């Protein structure tokens, strides 16, 4: 089992490129994963929210994770943190077993959505997942999408389980994030789930980001996190100011709508989605284009 200290730095929540007919473009996904690894990203995260995971079959998820594993050279150049979450604990355990079987290095598991379990329900859900696998598990807390928040006391309880090694915190609640960083063991990794909060979260003791913006600018995000890690605040602030418009515009509409459009304008993929995701509006496209042009990214697959 990988140690928790491996799960630091920049993880990219990979988009899933689709063809016009709705099929996954496997060759393009391979190229996108390779681009991330070549840019120095530390963790590939297939089958998450940004990858439109709710629209993927388990077989498709297996394929995407297998490609990520191959392009990471079986975890030697980057770790593969496979998304496997949902509101049915038994189904999640089954998906986790599939990811373990094909060689994922760890699991990112979003909280149950829709059924809104209690804190005890969340604890039992994650304990059951942890007991079903030897893989390291990173909790994913994103209450704005799931309607379900893992409170700091519950994160602390879960951190006592050996193979629950960290949390991707996307609550947007800086007070909650600060409390989690304060109370969890030092070896328990707190990762930002919001690009815009990477700098403040790491200042509080977090160890990196699972990023959307790194789909577009992986090398710049690696540089940002490295600067924060080494205590170079001036460089980190400068990079943060430069990247902030990109981080913000990626959420001008529901993600991954804007980031896929941006990547299409950069020549990285086509802006095809699976329902219920649809193309972003013309007004949102104009905002994305303005940011890309200001950063000199339009038409260029920059690192």
| 175 C-beta neighbours (distance < 10 Å), count | 9
Spell out, as residue ranges, where the chain has pLDDT lower than 50. Answer: 1-5, 302-303
CA distance 57 to 100: 17
Fold of the domain built from segment(s) 4-232: TIM Barrel (3.20.20)
β partners of residue 44: 12, 80
β partners of residue 79: 43
Cβ atoms of residues 34 and 69 within 8 Å: no
The CA distances from residue 170 to 137, 176, 200, 274, in Å, are 16, 10, 13, 24
CA distance 268 to 260: 9
The residue extents of the domains of the chain are 4-232
- Active-site residue identified among 61, 126, 168, 273: 168
Is 140 among the catalytic positions? yes
Q: Kindly report, residue by residue over 79-111, the tens digit of the pLDDT.
A: 999 999 999 999 999 999 999 999 999 999 999
Q: Kindly report, residue by residue over 244-293, the tens digit of the pLDDT.
A: 999 999 999 999 999 999 999 999 999 999 999 999 999 999 999 999 99
- Active-site residue identified among 29, 61, 126, 140: 140
pLDDT at 116: 94
Angle at which helix 152-159 crosses helix 119-131, to 10 degrees, equals 20
Q: Which two three-digit tokens encode residue 27? A: 């060759």
Is 168 among the catalytic positions? yes
| 19 C-beta neighbours (distance < 10 Å), count | 12
Cβ atoms of residues 64 and 56 within 8 Å: yes
CA dihedral 105, 240, 246, 205 (to 10 degrees): 40
Helix (DSSP H) and strand (DSSP E) numbers for the chain: 12, 8
Average pLDDT, the chain: 96
CA distance 35 to 20: 22
Strands 9-13 and 79-83: unpaired
pLDDT at 300: 57
Q: Is 116 left (phi over 0), alpha (psi -120 to 50) or beta?
A: left
Cβ atoms of residues 190 and 167 within 8 Å: yes
DSSP-derived secondary structure letter, 4:
G
């Amino acid at each position: 089992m990988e140690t928790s200290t491996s799960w630091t730095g920049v993880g990219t929540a990979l988009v899933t490129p689709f063809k016009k007919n709705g099929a996954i473009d496997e060759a393009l996904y391979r190229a996108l994963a390779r681009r991330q690894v070549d840019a120095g990203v530390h963790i590939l995260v297939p089958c998450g929210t940004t990858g439109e995971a709710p629209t993927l079959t388990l077989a498709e998820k297996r394929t995407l994770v297998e490609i990520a594993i191959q392009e990471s050279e079986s975890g030697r150049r980057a770790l593969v943190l496979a998304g496997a979450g949902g509101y049915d604990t038994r189904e999640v355990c089954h998906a986790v077993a599939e990811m373990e079987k094909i060689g994922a290095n760890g699991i990112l598991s979003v909280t149950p959505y829709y059924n809104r379990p209690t804190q005890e329900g969340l604890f039992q859900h994650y304990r059951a997942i942890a007991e079903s696998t030897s893989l390291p598990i990173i909790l994913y807390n994103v209450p704005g999408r799931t309607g379900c928040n893992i409170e700091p006391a519950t994160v602390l309880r879960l951190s006592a389980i050996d193979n629950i090694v960290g949390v991707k915190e996307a609550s947007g609640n800086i007070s909650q994030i600060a409390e989690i960083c304060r109370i969890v063991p030092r070896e328990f990794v707190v990762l930002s789930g919001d690009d815009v909060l990477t700098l403040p979260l790491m200042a509080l003791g977090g160890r990196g980001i699972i990023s959307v913006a790194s789909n577009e600018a992986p090398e710049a995000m690696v540089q940002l996190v490295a600067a924060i890690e080494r205590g170079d605040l001036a460089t980190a602030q400068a990079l943060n100011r430069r990247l902030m418009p990109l981080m913000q515009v990626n959420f001008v509409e529901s993600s991954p709508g804007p980031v896929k459009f941006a990547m299409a304008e950069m020549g990285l993929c086509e802006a095809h989605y699976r329902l219920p995701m649809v193309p972003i509006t013309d007004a949102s496209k104009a905002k994305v284009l303005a940011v890309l042009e200001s950063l000199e990214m339009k038409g260029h697959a920059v690192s």
